[in-house]
Structure 1
Amino acid sequence: MTSPSTYPNQDTPRHLVVMGVSGSGKSTLATALARRLSLPMAEADEFHPPQNIAKMSSQIPLTDEDRWPWLHALRDWMTSHAETGSIITCSALRRSYRDLLRTATGDVLFLHIDVQTPRLQERVAHRSGHFMPPALLDSQLATLEPLAADEPGIRLSNDSTVEQLIDDAVAWLSPSLPS
């Protein structure tokens, strides 16, 4: 776990965006946090229009123009859960994408899961039933802009166990969780 750039505010609903490239463990962490924190959760993949899925399935990287409607839909979903807060998975590769997600009603915090490239390649190569082919991992890594110091979030290393990743995330969130 690396030092947080900004700690969450305790007084407003929070949306947690579990971010990172394909195969980093976004879904695993988001699902565990949603259970532990009793928050609604959404998988960003389910918000992709069919043409985006077709492009990625054909090993064609998405462009910004492909991503904007998808990101708006994610932002709108978070806003629809402004009363309770929420958790979403989203690659959120560029700061401009995260800037758009931060326009949701409520505080938007980012949990950036970081995994070493060889481990990512192994995970994606052995994953079945997902439209994101291993060939697009390099384009995601090239596009990724890590969280900046002024962005509300933390970078979490996913180099040990799932339990450790969850514990690290909850430890960072603990000061802001309702008592």
Structure 2
Amino acid sequence: MTPLLEPVPDVPVHVVVMGVSGCGKSTIARALHERLGWEFAEGDEYHPRANVEKMASGRPLMDEDRWPWLRTLADWTRERDERGESTVLSCSSLKRSYRDLLRNGGAGTYFVHMHGDKGILLERMESREHFMPPTLLESQLDTLELLEPDERGVLVDVALPVERAVRVVLAHLQ
């Protein structure tokens, strides 16, 4: 992808690409990073070892497992916000309360909710190597709370090709 030829925003923007496992959040977040040139963080890389081991063993994370991880991601965003830098982050952000915490990282936080057909999600999970087993998809779907009308963000269909999904996001950011 060619870099976006837009000026750097006056206020830092923090794009959080969210959704359940297999939705393509990492792929879309990396594509946005490449297009915008903003610093990128893969949320999975910030999970404590205990969280990864718990998920890999087929046990879903509970809120008490997620809060320290989410605070770390909010701190990561806040550090860049204070320097005036925009960011792209991939993070499941399944609940409104999790997104509220992430918004503390910067006023310009914007959510890209990758959402779609359960069959597509399951197929993607089964075809990749990842610590999150496909058996946990149902627990993530049960936990998922859709973006609410007062939350800055956009819902993007997981079935869209990557470049098209990126164009949808960029159109909504402008």
TM-score by length of 1: 0.89
- 3-state SS of 2:147 partner: coil
Per the TM alignment, residue 107 of structure 1 is displaced from its structure 2 partner at its CA by: 1.1
Per the TM alignment, residue 46 of structure 1 is displaced from its structure 2 partner at its CA by: 0.6
Letter in 1 for 2:138: D
Aligned counterpart, 1:68:
67
Correspondence list, 1:32-111, <5 A: 32-82=31-81, 83-111=84-112
Deviations along 1:119-168, one digit per CA (max 9) or x if unpaired, are 1111101111x100101000000100000000011111122311211111
Q: Between 103-112 and 16-25, report the one with greater CA deviation.
A: 103-112
Unaligned runs of 5+ in 2: 1-8
Per the TM alignment, residue 67 of structure 1 is displaced from its structure 2 partner at its CA by: 0.2
Letter in 2 for 1:55: K
Aligned counterpart, 1:164:
164
Deviations along 1:42-81, one digit per CA (max 9) or x if unpaired, are 0000110000001001000000000000000000000111
Aligned counterpart, 1:17:
16
- 3-state SS of 1:109 partner: strand
CA distance in 2, matches of 1:151, 1:124: 28
Per the TM alignment, residue 172 of structure 1 is displaced from its structure 2 partner at its CA by: 1.1
The CA RMSD measured in Å over matched residues stands at 1.0
CA distance in 2, matches of 1:13, 1:41: 14
Per the TM alignment, residue 11 of structure 1 is displaced from its structure 2 partner at its CA by: 4.0
CA distance in 2, matches of 1:62, 1:158: 23
TM-score by length of 2: 0.91
Tell me the number of residue pairs that the alignment of Structure 1 and Structure 2 aligns. 164
CA distance in 2, matches of 1:123, 1:47: 22
Runs of 4+ in 1 over 4 A off after TM superposition: none
Aligned counterpart, 2:119:
118
CA distance in 1, matches of 2:158, 2:171: 15
Letter in 2 for 1:135: T
CA distance in 1, matches of 2:139, 2:106: 31
Letter in 1 for 2:58: Q
